[in-house]
Structure 1
């Protein structure tokens, strides 16, 4: 009760203070009236006592005392004096900052870039790692996952999974029959929803394009408690019968871009993978579904449409008991603990698996786990968490550098204003008053930098995501854009206040401790000045140490990028255009899709400017993988041995188009058709792995299943990089796509001397001549594709290089400032040295030697810090170690060079001092 009463009293005082400030003029008028009333009353009493009116007024004024004193006392009682002093400090601070525009511009600009960098990283990190789904009460959502021991009864997966060495597999996808069993028997969660996001071909208002569609269960919107901003949501009745429910709810983005937010969108149709669906609603702004918070699917359709709009093989995935593919999310029930719900759902998962999947001897059933679903699948955690934390560390160091630089500048200004502070102290100002005045100036300077930082951060939060997005996707609206909300604004304000206190406290403290008597002497060299010099040198050493750390870190990431760029990919990546063709399975079931691709391949090859064309099931260096069992004839079965190898179904001109050498046997030829004996080509790594002691040419193997046809090895090709640049070339084999039962989506690789933009219209026309509803997907060059796998490395190299340059510039300013200050304070000493016979080059060498020792001290501490901290980013490096001597020596040499240049001007100025002029001032 006492605490509550104290808080209530403080709140009342604060409210009274705010009211007093807001009613300032009225209060001043009331004070005047009250003092006048007292004066008139006292005057009347004195007149009644027999005094004349003039004498009564005189005596009343004497008795009442000075009016100004009473006003000040009343202002103090209301808390207005503090506000008046603060307002005076702010006005004076504005005059001081305006008096030195160069200082103000330099300090505010460095702060703006430093704070802006922090704001940018925070805004992006907040969205990727901390923002929640835009649904009511997202903290109640739980994502279902399962953990296996390596022997789990999971035949196939379409979705996310992680293979943990020694711990089996973990994933968040389930078969649809298992979802139905869990949904029907669930008692611990409010509801369970299923969803799956997939890229699909769509025709919107006559334009063929690629869209991201979410297939969702009928209870999706009701369970998430989301209402559309226009029309209606999907209902359980839309999802009642497999193959029915040809309706869709579109995203706010699609509504804006394609329909201009027209209300007449309701009832219009969209062709989705050759199936016509009717738009019945528009999702609210900011709603991104249940998968993530960065990107919203363009359309939401009932999952019952899967067999129609996205068939996978001959069996509907709604009844397929082997393919694990849907994600499941539930909402917690009041009073039910997560552990209780997880235990119950795990029992239901065991029963659902046994009811739908035969469990062989030695097979195990995965164990169910409930995890936080408030941010969806949050893939960004594993991909971006460490890089963003590292970038946050870099930006924090940059802020410290900027603070150190401004603190040094303020120390130098404090030395110039030492006489001013002494005069103010001599006239009665308290040291706390001086300290508050100088801190106010620092906070005003920080506020200017913070305002600029907001602008820099606003620009950066739009620019940085573009650096982290595929170049060919930047124009289609799929790149995320970090929101600039009140949380980001509050972070920027907090950083601004902290920086203002950090760089302003020490200079203000030293200035407030000035010695009045000695400072008023024109030529005094007080101990306070010596302390300022020592403090300034310590700050500069700290700047050099931080700069060394940042430069070494930037050097490591730059060298990583250079090492990745120098990787031999094993094929000719220049003048190669890539794009995908995804024929809808409903219109082009196998083998019709094979025939379609053959027709397209012939059309592309006949185009002017096209040298060669080769489709394949995946693009190299694209983070894509595809593996299939590789079963050589006569190889003994070993259950403990991994038998799957990376596979690529390609066109007959694949090797000549990419420039991959055939080192033994032959490549694919026109006689390798759908009716000829099946053939395959393996790479050198696969030959060494599976045929270590024999010649594989002419030998046979089976792919995928033991009862499939035999495939004869007709050639061996050179190794190439596969999914990325960091991994060694893996074993892989190649099959002609024309000999497959179905081809599905193929990536076309076109060798051309034309500019990609100039070739695209001809390719687009060739596709439309075959099927007007087929879009060209992800049109890009092979170089763009390779660069896309280095997005994080390229972003890090660019950002850290920028931070390194900024660190060098701040270190240069700091060294120049402290050496210039030192020379100015030692002018008399230098003059005496020159008068006694010292040569100018000796004086110059003395100053340069001092700056070199100062720099070396900072470098030593910076290198020690780098050796400790760079180990934390070891996993992000490639081809270089955290203690790489070339990078360390290069960073040290760069800092020494910058220090020499920064100290040269003060050293030259010291060497040009005229002895008689210096002694005259003494």
Structure 2
């Protein structure tokens, strides 16, 4: 212990005597250690730390698997059947998002709500902080529940945080609901992008076949593995019949809940951590080179200590203590950078998960940072330490001080530079692929034009809008009033707007075909008004748009997209063909009156699927998205939309008023943030690699000053000396780039899942990066080479 303290004091003195070296190396290490710690904090929060629920490893998500739909919602009879016949789960609960209109207050309010089975919170293992949990009798047959649970936030924000809130009533969708409990303050449900205000119990109708509208969360029975529960549920699903003749039998999909929640984040986080790990290795090689130079310049001091009796182990310890101390200094600086870096990484993570798994500087992250700092110090300090402890003492004692530095070299310095170049090239290639992928996503034609369009969500209360005529009168009235305003180009409404995160699909058959499973197909369907296609500038390729002639009393009609025609009609003429959506026997055959352009409804990276559009007049719904194309500023259009809704129904809340371009920007937010981070890491890697090349050549020139001076004195031309030094740098560059290309070819294959429109091996990117890195390396070689070509023979010959 005494020797360790002595070495620590010696290391502190040595580092404080060279503040320039200490600060440069410390800042380099701070950047890479801080970046690694930030990425670890994200991976720990999202992937490693269990969800904040009792026995989170037993929570699973379950989907119904249909034709062409691998993650479909579940119908109530299926959930009831799974509960009855499956033994692999202790409980199964259904849930789904919705919105309710709260009235009876000064201003109507849209309330973010969830419809759940009464056992939902029992499955999660969550108990209300006030009041009681939901009971089965709270969801009577018929669905007319009169109770709700409220979130802690809604209790504080909208109900004043009064202590006697249990028993108060809320008027939701025109009906009174008693508050029976308040959820804990720290509860948040990670499936929903927004915090939910109220939770409403819902009855499961055993006759509601074919209506797949809810998600299912389950808890594994004690001692049952995920695989066993999945197999058991598969057997149970086979025994659940479907009432409609010809309907294809559904299967199931079961996934661990945390795996499901982090599916879209996992690959990005691991890729970024690998990238920042490469930067760490490059930085370690860089600092190791600096430490090796210090070691070479202090070889005589080390030889004297060895001659005085210092053992090889003691000399190794002394060198490692200095490198670890330097790394810990960088780690402390890195923790300060973490606070800034966490804000950047948060843009990559889903807001719903951040509510339950916040990104924070906790004990685990601090412990990782300390271990990483120590490990980094040992990594970059090991080679210099081994060189210092293993040097031959007697030859060094016979040399003068300058001779020691001049004649002592180490091939490891060149090897470290080659490693830096290779790692930098791999990182640059990966970044180039991600940049190309982002460019491809941004260049995707979504099938609509979002510029100049604003939108808002409207959900009519069922008590006030039971009749279809009232629904039609409301939406058509708002559209007419908006079109009467100056500057309005088009107004329309649709139930599922593109890129909105919601979609509906169902079976259909073509006229003349049987109802057998082979003749039933899947189509996504939307309910749209006249003006919807004009508002988003979705082109009509054949036939016509919906018009005033399409009423509730006219012949049933439908519009399909080009993908529908290609897949189901062989790409031929679709006009006049008739289809019937088969979710129930009451649906009539509908004549195809138009074919519209494909729209990327789910995301920009998923191709369009077959879609059908029903006219709102013939299929009125209560929840719609109003879309307005304006020639003026979006802010005035949003204000006009709110005013006209209020003019038609003052009790109708309007929510999610946004320019439609925000939907596209939201989808691009994560890939843009990923690209920026990778570009920053790649830029740092290139700088460090360039500094490494420069350092090796500059040191080599310093070592060879006498030799170069003699060459000049014997008649060597400065260009010959320039080529001599450049050739050394070019060999290092060629070897580093060559190894990097081979490594990049293997490494980028693991990026395939994160790329769009670009293959992992893109020759132009590989070649472009190799040329760019070689050029930068050559530029780094040029400065010491020019200095070597200007060596004065007289001065070099006077050197020791």
- Give, in angstroms, the shift of residue 693 of structure 1: 7.8
For residue 438 of structure 1, the aligned residue among 319, 322, 347 is 319
Q: Cα–Cα, structure 1 residues 664 and 861, in superposed 2: closer, same or farther, change >3 Å?
A: same
- Give, in angstroms, the shift of residue 631 of structure 1: 3.9
For residue 320 of structure 1, the aligned residue among 194, 202, 208 is 208
Where in structure 2 are the equivalents of 1:105-144 lying within 5 Å?
105-139=23-57, 141-143=58-60
Q: Cα–Cα, structure 1 residues 276 and 650, in superposed 2: closer, same or farther, change >3 Å?
A: same
Correspondence 1:781 to 2:680: no
Correspondence 1:542 to 2:443: no
Q: Cα–Cα, structure 1 residues 492 and 829, in superposed 2: closer, same or farther, change >3 Å?
A: same
Q: Is the 8 A contact 2:66 2:250 kept in 1?
A: no
Question: Aligned with 2:694: secondary structure?
Answer: helix
Distance 2:570 2:122 in 1: 59
- Give, in angstroms, the shift of residue 531 of structure 1: 4.4
Q: Cα–Cα, structure 1 residues 200 and 511, in superposed 2: closer, same or farther, change >3 Å?
A: same
CA distances 1:53-111 after superposition (whole Å, capped 9, x unpaired): xxxxxxxxxxxxxxxxxxxxxxxxxxxxx0x3333333332333333333223322222
Q: Cα–Cα, structure 1 residues 380 and 105, in superposed 2: closer, same or farther, change >3 Å?
A: farther
Q: Cα–Cα, structure 1 residues 496 and 753, in superposed 2: closer, same or farther, change >3 Å?
A: farther
Question: Aligned with 1:918: secondary structure?
Answer: helix
Q: Cα–Cα, structure 1 residues 285 and 130, in superposed 2: closer, same or farther, change >3 Å?
A: farther
Q: Cα–Cα, structure 1 residues 526 and 621, in superposed 2: closer, same or farther, change >3 Å?
A: same
Q: Is the 8 A contact 2:499 2:603 kept in 1?
A: yes
Distance 1:875 1:479 in 2: 26
- Give, in angstroms, the shift of residue 409 of structure 1: 1.5
Q: What is the aligned partner in structure 2 of residue 329 from structure 1? A: 218
- Give, in angstroms, the shift of residue 322 of structure 1: 4.4
Correspondence 1:102 to 2:25: no
Q: Is the 8 A contact 2:347 2:669 kept in 1?
A: no
- Give, in angstroms, the shift of residue 264 of structure 1: 5.8
Q: What is the aligned partner in structure 2 of residue 651 from structure 1? A: 529
Q: Which moved more, 1:455-464 or 1:410-419?
A: 455-464
Question: Aligned with 1:879: secondary structure?
Answer: coil
Unaligned runs of 5+ in 2: none
Question: Aligned with 2:626: secondary structure?
Answer: strand
Q: Cα–Cα, structure 1 residues 247 and 709, in superposed 2: closer, same or farther, change >3 Å?
A: closer
- Give, in angstroms, the shift of residue 297 of structure 1: 4.6
Where in structure 2 are the equivalents of 1:605-644 lying within 5 Å?
605-622=483-500, 624-634=502-512, 639-641=517-519, 643-644=521-522
For residue 182 of structure 1, the aligned residue among 48, 69, 83 is 83
Q: Cα–Cα, structure 1 residues 494 and 265, in superposed 2: closer, same or farther, change >3 Å?
A: farther
Distance 1:379 1:431 in 2: 54
Distance 1:727 1:854 in 2: 44
Distance 1:714 1:220 in 2: 45
Distance 2:406 2:174 in 1: 83
Where in structure 2 are the equivalents of 1:508-547 lying within 5 Å?
508-520=385-397, 521-522=399-400, 525=403, 530-532=408-410, 534-547=411-424
Correspondence 1:768 to 2:668: no
Q: What is the aligned partner in structure 2 of residue 899 from structure 1? A: 777
Q: Which moved more, 1:594-603 or 1:714-723?
A: 714-723
Question: Aligned with 1:670: secondary structure?
Answer: coil
Q: Which moved more, 1:96-105 or 1:434-443?
A: 96-105
CA distances 1:453-483 after superposition (whole Å, capped 9, x unpaired): 333334333432324559xx99xx9797434
Where in structure 2 are the equivalents of 1:162-177 lying within 5 Å?
162=65, 173=74, 175=76
For residue 717 of structure 1, the aligned residue among 586, 596, 600 is 596
Q: Is the 8 A contact 2:427 2:682 kept in 1?
A: yes
Question: Aligned with 1:569: secondary structure?
Answer: coil
Question: Aligned with 2:34: secondary structure?
Answer: helix
Q: Is the 8 A contact 1:238 1:302 kept in 2?
A: no
Q: What is the aligned partner in structure 2 of residue 236 from structure 1? A: 135
Distance 2:246 2:564 in 1: 32
Q: Which moved more, 1:819-828 or 1:685-694?
A: 685-694
CA distances 1:247-287 after superposition (whole Å, capped 9, x unpaired): 44433444565578664655555554444444444433443
CA distances 1:773-825 after superposition (whole Å, capped 9, x unpaired): 54444444343322333444323322211111111111111111111111111
Q: Cα–Cα, structure 1 residues 920 and 453, in superposed 2: closer, same or farther, change >3 Å?
A: same
Q: Is the 8 A contact 2:119 2:134 kept in 1?
A: yes
Q: Is the 8 A contact 1:317 1:323 kept in 2?
A: no
CA distances 1:292-320 after superposition (whole Å, capped 9, x unpaired): 5x9785345352xx36xxxxxxxx74763
Correspondence 1:413 to 2:294: yes
Where in structure 2 are the equivalents of 1:247-286 lying within 5 Å?
247-255=147-155, 263=163, 266=166, 269-286=169-186
Distance 2:139 2:611 in 1: 44
Q: Which moved more, 1:807-816 or 1:577-586?
A: 577-586
Q: What is the aligned partner in structure 1 of residue 546 from structure 2? A: 668
Question: Aligned with 2:782: secondary structure?
Answer: helix
Correspondence 1:857 to 2:735: yes
Q: Is the 8 A contact 2:75 2:210 kept in 1?
A: no
Q: Is the 8 A contact 1:199 1:210 kept in 2?
A: no
- Give, in angstroms, the shift of residue 503 of structure 1: 1.0
Where in structure 2 are the equivalents of 1:333-372 lying within 5 Å?
333=222, 353=240, 358=243, 366=251, 372=256
Q: Is the 8 A contact 2:449 2:537 kept in 1?
A: yes
Distance 2:488 2:350 in 1: 28
Q: What is the aligned partner in structure 1 of residue 4 from structure 2? A: 86
Where in structure 2 are the equivalents of 1:658-807 lying within 5 Å?
658-692=536-570, 695-704=573-582, 708-740=587-619, 742-772=620-650, 774-807=652-685
Q: What is the aligned partner in structure 2 of residue 812 from structure 1? A: 690
For residue 759 of structure 2, the aligned residue among 881, 884, 889 is 881
Distance 1:163 1:98 in 2: 68
Q: Cα–Cα, structure 1 residues 839 and 792, in superposed 2: closer, same or farther, change >3 Å?
A: same
- Give, in angstroms, the shift of residue 529 of structure 1: 5.9
CA distances 1:736-777 after superposition (whole Å, capped 9, x unpaired): 22221x224222322124443454333333333344554444
CA distances 1:339-376 after superposition (whole Å, capped 9, x unpaired): 8877887777677x36xx65968975857x87656x4x
Distance 1:646 1:437 in 2: 70
Q: Cα–Cα, structure 1 residues 657 and 366, in superposed 2: closer, same or farther, change >3 Å?
A: closer
Distance 2:456 2:55 in 1: 41
Q: Is the 8 A contact 1:415 1:529 kept in 2?
A: no
Q: Cα–Cα, structure 1 residues 863 and 585, in superposed 2: closer, same or farther, change >3 Å?
A: farther
Name the Cα RMSD after superposition.
Answer: 3.7
Q: What is the aligned partner in structure 2 of residue 287 from structure 1? A: 187
CA distances 1:135-193 after superposition (whole Å, capped 9, x unpaired): 33434x35374xxxxxxxxxxxxxx445698xx9677846268538836x88886x525
Q: Cα–Cα, structure 1 residues 196 and 223, in superposed 2: closer, same or farther, change >3 Å?
A: closer
Q: Is the 8 A contact 2:406 2:704 kept in 1?
A: no
Unaligned runs of 5+ in 1: 1-81, 146-159, 308-315
Question: Aligned with 1:789: secondary structure?
Answer: helix
Q: What is the aligned partner in structure 2 of residue 5 from structure 1? A: none
Q: Is the 8 A contact 2:127 2:133 kept in 1?
A: no
* Higher relative contact order (CA closer than 8 Å, sequence separation 6+): 2
- Give, in angstroms, the shift of residue 545 of structure 1: 0.2
CA distances 1:891-918 after superposition (whole Å, capped 9, x unpaired): 1121112112222222222222222111
Q: Is the 8 A contact 1:267 1:278 kept in 2?
A: yes
Aligned residues: 794
- Give, in angstroms, the shift of residue 332 of structure 1: 3.6
Which structure's CA Rg is the greater one? Answer: 1
Q: Cα–Cα, structure 1 residues 181 and 797, in superposed 2: closer, same or farther, change >3 Å?
A: closer
Q: Cα–Cα, structure 1 residues 569 and 182, in superposed 2: closer, same or farther, change >3 Å?
A: closer
Distance 2:312 2:454 in 1: 72
Question: Aligned with 2:60: secondary structure?
Answer: strand
- Give, in angstroms, the shift of residue 707 of structure 1: 5.1
